[in-house]
Amino acid sequence: MNVNQADAPKRNILIVDDTPNNLRLLSAILTKRGYEVGKALDGKIALRAAKTAPPDLILLDIKMPEMNGYQVCERLKADDKTREIPVIFISALDDVLDKVKAFRSGGVDYITKPFQGEEVLARVQIHLNLQALQNALRREQKNSERLLLNILPQAIVEELKQKSSATPTQFEEATFLFADIAEFTPQSSLMPPVAVVSLLNQVFSAFDQLAQHHGVEKIRTIGDSYFVAGGLPVVRTDHAQAIAEMALDMQQVITRFHWPTGEPLRLRIGINTGGPVVAAVIGIKKFAYDVWGDTVNLASRMESQGEAGRIQVTEATYKRLQDQYQFEKRGALLVKGRGAMITYWLIGRKSSSFEITFG
């Protein structure tokens, strides 16, 4: 990446020096080259100016009353708003220890007085170019992080940033929800593929907003199936309630969407609470965050053996939520791999205080 002064917007430089003649001389040199220049006669004024309108670069004297240049630089580097501004010290102090102290306080360069105008301009340009490159790199890193957050939970992204790998984690308890669009295959077969994809995108985007609103984690989508978890990767004690709220809101939101025949879409939802389960990032090229455990499998069974327009939950989930939500006992259900199990339909909230308005 080449950053030239000619094709870049005017850069703003703050000069900090308690000697008016130095301010005038440096200002004249920089202004003539096309820079916008701000001036400060002491450190306190400089700090206020830098916070109010952060400059692209600071030229900083060392020997000043009340607050010296080292102290000013340290304060700049301690503030999130000003820490990335490059600081070039410009001082009559010529001892090596003075220069070392300047770099340790956060300076990027050191110019000794009396200075040559061309040297000042050259060093300023170098550090502005470096700053532009660093800013571009930070933007790319933020873009990469945003992309990762689209496919991985935030807690996992933070771990990857710190350790370049994510450790598989066991969670003692969590609640899982599987949702499937009823009659999807016969209904979607009558639609153009582009229309099917568009419909799914609208539905799942609405569900994603709900997941964010309720603080639960979307694990994945497969076809018309939506899988979400409560209580991981961030542990929370109210995971069952969060998933119940998610399920009830999903049933409400799905009524906004219709098949080409005008018939509204309906969901089949299954929920289970339990543990332990293991969650981990898999893959080396296309990362995926997934969860394994019998609790997950049973939640999937609750969905696949449920009914359109209804939310089927296991007895474990029912026991966690029976005081807050209305249920209807379905009775014994023969579940693959588990035999006969008592399951329940989640009907709604017992109190309006639990209602959450979406949108």
What single-letter DSSP state applies at residue 235?
-
Residue (of 117, 108, 132) closest to 11 by Cα position: 132
What pLDDT digit, counting tens, does each position of 190-207 carry?
A: 899 999 999 999 999 999
> Do 305 and 312 touch, CB atoms closer than 8 A?
yes
Biggest CA-to-CA distance, the chain: 91
In the chain, pLDDT over 90 holds for what percent of residues? 67
Please give the single-letter amino acid code of residue 212.
Answer: Q
Does residue 246 sit in the same domain as residue 135? no
Does residue 314 sit in the same domain as residue 346? yes
Check whether 152 has a pLDDT greater than 80: no
Q: Residue 319 domain-assigned?
A: yes
What single-letter DSSP state applies at residue 258?
B
Does residue 250 sit in the same domain as residue 209? yes
The parent domain of residue 66 ranges over 12-149
> Catalytic amino acids?
180-181, 224
- The residue from 117, 149, 181 where one domain ends is 149
Does residue 128 sit in the same domain as residue 184? no
The count of other CB atoms within 10 Å of the CB of residue 291 is 22
Give the chain's domain count: 2
Does residue 162 sit in the same domain as residue 142? no
Check whether 353 has a pLDDT greater than 50: no
Q: Residue 3 domain-assigned?
A: no
Does residue 309 sit in the same domain as residue 270? yes
Does residue 117 sit in the same domain as residue 130? yes
In the structure, what pLDDT confidence band is assigned to residue 43 with cuts at 50, 70 and 90?
very high
What pLDDT digit, counting tens, does each position of 48-107 carry?
A: 999 999 999 999 999 998 899 999 999 999 999 999 999 999 999 889 999 999 999 999
- Helix, strand, coil shares of the chain, percent, nearest 5, are 40, 25, 30
What average pLDDT does the segment 1-28 reach?
78
Does residue 100 sit in the same domain as residue 168? no
Q: How many CA atoms lie within 13 A of 30 on its CB side?
A: 24
Check whether 5 has a pLDDT greater than 60: no
Give the three-state DSSP class for 326: strand
Q: Residue 6 domain-assigned?
A: no
